[in-house]
Amino acid sequence: MGKEAILYEKLPEEKVRCTACARYCEIGKNQIGLCGIRGNTDGRLELFVYGKVIAGNVDPIEKKPVVHYRPGSKVFSIATTGCNWLCKYCQNYDISQRRKVEGVDMTPEQVVQTTLDHGADGIAYTYNQPSIFIEFARDCGVIARKRGLYNVFVSNGYDTPETVKMMEEFLDCITVDFKGSAEPNFTRKYIGVPDPKPIFDTLTEIHDKTKIHVEITDLIVPEVGDDLSYAKKLCKFVYDEFGSDMPIHFLRFHPDYKMMEFPSTPVKTLEKHHKIAKDVGLNYAYLGNVPGHPLEHTYCPECNNIVINRFGFAIKEWNLDEKNQCINCKNRIPITGRLAKNYKADRFQFVV
Ligand code: SF4
Ligand SMILES: [Zn+2]
């Protein structure tokens, strides 16, 4: 399909500057940007993958991971090809590192209708970095909201003030995935990102200028991306910027793509990161990709009661009253929405 992008500036000599991500590629006539799916066609920036959906799955929102927004609801997850990051461990590399315009043709109306047809409650833009196709996501998201659906980005946060401004038009929720606690040597070597600062700036921008629900994720990569001093720095930033109620997830790494020789993250390492978050003052720290671990649950910070008991992406027990207060001590837990109606835990699988 392809369509002229919105987030770009025209430069002399028919060049363009893309403003959809923090790489701010300057692209010469008939060249393409680093993500491979935005390019200069005769002096105009084009989003080549507008309306080209490469993957579509119905997932529990907990899989994103998002656990404090519409718990137990379902999202229709979509992606295009391409990405602005070059993660050597990417689990979706077949999609994200494919520099080709491929996928099923879907108009924004068809994306929304498919979401409704599958009984999902929202649309997740995920698997690759959604800000690189934000004009398409925006067109889907605006219609989705009108039809009673919500929109969620699973993002690396390597964005710009321009993308945040566009997010505000349609986005309800974002989970920003740090990797290796944004330690610069790690981001340089394993992601191809010279400086992680734009991720922090994006979070500040989202917090100061929007009402989007935010959760934070940090993928802990053993040996090369598990530095505790940077984990502390990240937790401190999250606490200072968002306060004690911001959910943070420490995810277990599994070998994939160009990092097959690395082991999975030891659970003990993840537990150390969790302790740092708690010591900094974050009330809602979680471990991810460790099904059955007690740190998957939500605990009441006042009485330590398990208010939401989880296994993987499934909710096993819901111990909150109709105001989302702990049934034991009446402390209010900061969760948007109640457990999805007709929720059944047994329809979800988990990752090991
Ligand atoms: S979205 Fe793509 S073209 Fe635009 S700045 Fe980022 S990598 Fe470059
Ligand atoms: Zn309590």
Our mutation pick for probing the ligand 1 site, out of 4, 26, 34, counting the most ligand atoms within 8 A of Cβ, is 34
pLDDT of residue 1: 59
- Any residues with CB less than 8 A from the CB of 27 and at least 6 apart, and which? 15, 16, 17, 18, 33, 38, 39, 40, 45
Record: fold of 52-295: TIM Barrel (3.20.20)
pLDDT of residue 98: 86
Does residue 20's CB lie within 6 angstroms of at least one atom of ligand 1? yes
> Where do the structural domains in the chain lie, given as residue ranges?
3-47, 52-295
- Give the atom of ligand 1 at the shortest distance from the alpha carbon of 7: 4
Rounded Cα distance, 13 and 213, in Å: 41
* Each residue's pLDDT tens digit, 106-146: 999 999 999 999 999 999 999 999 999 999 999 999 999 99
3-class DSSP assignment, residue 40: strand
**242 CA to centre of ligand 2 in angstroms:** 22
Residue 233 clears pLDDT 70, i.e. is over it: yes
Angle in degrees, 0-180, between the axes of helices 228-242 and 197-209, rounded to the nearest 10: 20
Number of Cα atoms under 13 Å in the Cβ half of residue 97 = 13
Residue 348 clears pLDDT 60, i.e. is over it: no
Rounded Cα distance, 340 and 206, in Å: 26
Q: Which of 67-81, 214-228, 248-262 has the lowest mean pLDDT?
A: 248-262
pLDDT of residue 212: 98
Interior CA angle at 157 toward 297 and 44, to 5°? 145
Q: Judge contact between 178 and 199, C-beta under 8 A.
A: yes
96-100 average pLDDT score? 85
Interior CA angle at 75 toward 72 and 78, to 5°? 155
Which residue's CA is the nearest one to ligand 1's atom 4? 18
**Confidence class for position 346, pLDDT limits 50, 70, 90:** low
Rounded Cα distance, 239 and 89, in Å: 28
pLDDT of residue 349: 44
Residue 352 clears pLDDT 60, i.e. is over it: no
321-335 average pLDDT score? 98
